[in-house]
């Protein structure tokens, strides 16, 4: 329970105040991966595992010109695809998952990226983070995307004590209003990069510091 002046604030109240601040600072926050269709976002998100969005965007700029659709990826030569995505790291696993993922999309979903959590999680290389991002940004179905920024900021603010991304997701689902889920996670990324970075958070510049456990230490 956070005490602001004479008013006690629980996590839901803190969240409402933080959302007000974020909506002023990052009202246009959106996914920083570049894509033009659901498949491209699905693949870009898989490539972003243990890699920066900036690096992924450099790779996909040429990758999506070479592989134009789900059939191109499904029929790709794995050794060639590995080299195409090598700089994103873990390229062997990523290449295998991308090819198998696209084959399943063709065989099981008529060549279209599925629009439910249950079906997305069936795809090779797709976890809850990727599924929630696709659901929120493509299909307008709110989801909590727990990346490194969301994890770090949620722990520092005091929204969760968990380290497991799925547990953090469920903790945030209880605190953040559902209509804000997707946008709030993008805003966490923006704030994490601009202010609350991993090594040297700029607490003195942070406008949500009054609501943050870490910032008040």
Residues 6+ apart with CB under 8 A from 30: 137, 186
What whole-number distance in Å separates Cα of residue 61 and Cα of residue 178? 33
> Which of these is catalytic: 129, 137, 151, 171?
129
- Name the H helices within the chain: 11-25, 38-47, 53-66, 70-74, 78-84, 91-109, 117-120, 128-139, 148-157, 165-175, 181-194
Q: Is 151 a catalytic residue?
A: no
DSSP helix/strand/coil, 2: strand
Cα distances from 165 to residues 17, 69, 170, 171, in angstroms, run: 24, 31, 9, 10
What whole-number distance in Å separates Cα of residue 109 and Cα of residue 102? 10
Q: Is 204 a catalytic residue?
A: no
> Which of these is catalytic: 53, 137, 147, 171?
147
DSSP helix/strand/coil, 84: helix
Catalytic residue list: 129, 147
């Amino acid at each position: 329970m956070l005490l602001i002046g004479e008013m006690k604030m629980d996590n839901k109240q803190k969240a409402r105040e933080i959302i007000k601040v974020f909506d002023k600072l990052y009202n246009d926050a959106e996914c920083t991966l570049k894509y033009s269709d659901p498949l491209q976002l699905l693949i870009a998100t898989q490539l972003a595992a243990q890699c920066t969005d900036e690096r992924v965007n450099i790779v996909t700029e040429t990758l999506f010109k070479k592989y134009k659709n789900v059939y191109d990826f499904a029929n790709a030569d794995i050794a060639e695809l590995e080299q195409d995505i090598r700089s994103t790291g873990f390229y062997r696993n990523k290449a295998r998952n991308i090819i198998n993922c696209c084959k399943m999309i063709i065989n099981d979903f008529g060549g279209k990226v599925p629009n439910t959590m249950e079906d997305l999680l069936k795809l090779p290389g797709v976890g809850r983070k990727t599924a929630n991002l696709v659901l929120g940004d493509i299909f307008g179905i709110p989801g909590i995307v727990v990346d490194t920024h969301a994890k770090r900021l949620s722990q520092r603010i005091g929204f969760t004590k968990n380290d497991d991304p799925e547990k953090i997701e469920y903790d945030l689902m209880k605190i953040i209003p559902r209509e804000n889920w997707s946008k709030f996670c993008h805003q966490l990324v923006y704030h994490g990069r601009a202010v609350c970075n991993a090594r040297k958070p700029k607490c003195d510049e942070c406008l949500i510091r009054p609501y943050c456990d870490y910032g008040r230490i």
